[in-house]
Amino acid sequence: MTFAAISDSRLASDDAGVRRIAILDMADAENDADLPVLAAALRDDTSEEVRAEAAHVLAGRDDPDVVEALAVALSDPAAAVRAAAATSLTQLKDARAGERLLPWAGHEQAFVRAAALRGLKELRIAAASAPARLSLSHADAAVRREAVGVLGWLKADDALPELARLARSDSDADVRRVAVGALGLSSESGHVQVLDALLGALRDPAWPVREEAATTLAKLAPPAALPALLEALDDEAWQVALRAVRALGRLRDARALPALVPALAHAMGNLRKEAAIALGDIGAPEAAPTLALAADDPDPEVRKAARLALARLQAGASS
């Protein structure tokens, strides 16, 4: 008797534990011939635990029928099954299989719609842009968040006005945060709407949004962001101040020196380290004396960053 036949026999057992073990054994065998059996278990088994296990083991399988079964399972009566199916759909690698998810990205149930969009995000399927655009105004924040993610990964420049609007004014802080990050992925990231939205996000009431704004500005390094980033050094959230220091280094503007040099004496070691890195990035000789002091900092990471920064300054001076 073949392994598949043994597994089929156990899947007919009245004991859900036996059926679950059969599912796990089939997963270990990684035999594509077992995929229809696993998909059937996901659809039809009477045990929530068995259906959830089937959803788990189907993760990363790009078979179109498996994708369809996982998408159907997003509406399963059991929350554990729905969650497992949603997670497994994020493991898809083949855009052709992911295309089976496209109809689900417009589903009337918010959970199904959000999960389908999340599964589509990293596949970068151009056709996913349309349902994502439609979902930007959905009542459910999770749907809007996943729609933003799809458009960010697609670098959908035509969606910039909507993404900027969400970054500025969405009612959900996490949607605003994700929209701010998506603005940094666009190939038109120098667009005035992008900069205005990012500068506004540096003053958002929620510190994770402000942190994301500083992080995105570090990637884009627009010179016009200098005053806002200097102001962000005094943010009440250390996470924001740290990212602002990093962004100032990326700008390579010596006008930031009066603010960055004192940061080498900050109580937080991580911020002192970032300040040393930023001063090395800027490459201004005026920072050398303070960096020399920081080279004896009690924190080994700060000492290392300061010494590397000094080496960069010395290399720049001799070139």
pLDDT at 133: 96
C-alpha 276/C-alpha 274 separation (Å) is 5
Residue 193 covered by a domain: no
C-alpha 5/C-alpha 9 separation (Å) is 6
Please, are residues 99 and 125 in contact by the beta-carbon 8 Å criterion?
yes
Burial environment of residue 134 by CB neighbours within 10 A (0 to 12, 13 to 18, 19 or more)? middle
> Last residue of a domain, which of 65, 91, 117?
91
State which residues of the chain have pLDDT below 70: 1-8, 186-191, 317-319
pLDDT at 99: 92
Domain total in the chain? 2
Residue 107 covered by a domain: no
pLDDT at 79: 97
Which domain covers residue 307, as residue numbers?
252-319
> Last residue of a domain, which of 62, 91, 120?
91
pLDDT at 31: 86
Residue 38 covered by a domain: yes
Distance from the first to the final alpha carbon of the chain? 75
C-alpha 197/C-alpha 168 separation (Å) is 6
Q: What does pTM read for this prediction?
A: 0.88
The predicted-structure confidence for 262-288, as pLDDT tens digits, reads as follows: 999 999 999 999 999 999 999 989 899
pLDDT at 81: 98
Domain containing 281 — which CATH number?
A: 1.25.10.10
C-alpha 251/C-alpha 66 separation (Å) is 48
Residue 52 covered by a domain: yes
Instruction: Count the Cβ atoms, other than its own, within 10 Å of residue 55.
Output: 30
Residue 215 covered by a domain: no
How far is Cα of residue 295 from the mean position of the Cα atoms in its chain?
35
Residue 311 covered by a domain: yes
